[in-house]
Structure 1
Amino acid sequence: MKRAERMLMKLIIFHLAALIAAQAFMQQPAVKPYVSKAIRYEGVNRQTVSEWLETFK
């Protein structure tokens, strides 16, 4: 049982690190147009940031 608990803790720590890395990656302004589906669906991918923020209001 101790081995399973150790393995589970390693998986939890790995998952947390991967989640934090993915969130940090998503915060990069150069990456947002490629990963955000809302930008493609709303058709605001050629507007300035202030223009497409107005679209979501």
Structure 2
Amino acid sequence: MKRFERILIKLIVIQFIALVFAQFLIQQPSIQPYFSRVVQYEGVNKITITEWLETFSGQR
């Protein structure tokens, strides 16, 4: 049982490191356009906050 627990702990640590690394990559401005293609398809990547708020408030 100890061997299984050691393997499980190692997998959890590896998963945590991968999660932190992925979160770090998502925060990088130079990489964000590759992850958020939907924003480019919708055409809302160049609008200001007020235009964005008007878009959502007009849908009610």
- What TM-score, normalized by structure 2, do the two folds share? 0.70
Give distance in 2, aligned partners of 1:36 and 1:44. Answer: 11
Higher relative contact order (CA 8 A, sep 6+): 1
**1:2-41 → structure 2 map (5 Å cutoff):** 2-41=2-41
Give the counterpart letter for 1:11 in structure 2.
L
Q: Which runs of 5+ in 1 are unaligned?
A: none
In the TM superposition, what is the alpha-carbon distance from 1:41 to its structure 2 partner? 3.4
Equivalences, count: 52
State TM-score, norm by structure 1: 0.73
Identity %: 48
- Range with greater deviation from structure 2 (33-42 or 23-32): 33-42
Distance 1:29 1:13 in 2: 27
